[in-house]
Structure 1
Amino acid sequence: MSDAIVPIALFLVLAGAIMAVAEFRTRRSRERDIEYAQETEDYRKARDSVAAQQEAIRTRLTELNVRVQSMESMLRAVE
């Protein structure tokens, strides 16, 4: 019986070490996944913000284009 205690204890220590390493790797992987999800969400927000700004700029340019055309037609009418 005492001959079996050392291999069993060694096996349990080895199994515990393997489980501890697996746990730490899993935690690190989860942290990376959370960071990636946060970065992705930040990217999405930035992308939506830029799209809204581009649309506002496009609208403003359209308004300015209409004004320039009206000024151009007024100048041509004077000639």
Structure 2
Amino acid sequence: MPGALKNALDGRVSSGELYRKPVMALSASPSDRGGDRALASLRQTLGALDTVVLEDGRIVDLEVEARIRAAVRALSA
């Protein structure tokens, strides 16, 4: 996980603003492993923040889904 992201999340520990909030972590990578280690590290950090990490989340907002799909397509181009 990038240091800047880890620092941003660590800064939320004392605030409690993520406490018991549902979150979903995803990654995209051109490699066969698809960012597995970074994703595992992110999930570990989110768990330490006492968030509710959704393993099989579903995006119900069609606009958000379209934006995510477009971003993934741009990454894989």
When normalised by structure 1's length, the TM-score is 0.23
Q: Which of the pair has the greater relative contact order for Cα pairs under 8 Å at 6+ separation?
A: 2
Q: Which has the larger Rg?
A: 1
When normalised by structure 2's length, the TM-score is 0.23
- Greater helix fraction, Structure 1 or Structure 2: 1
- Greater strand fraction, Structure 1 or Structure 2: 2
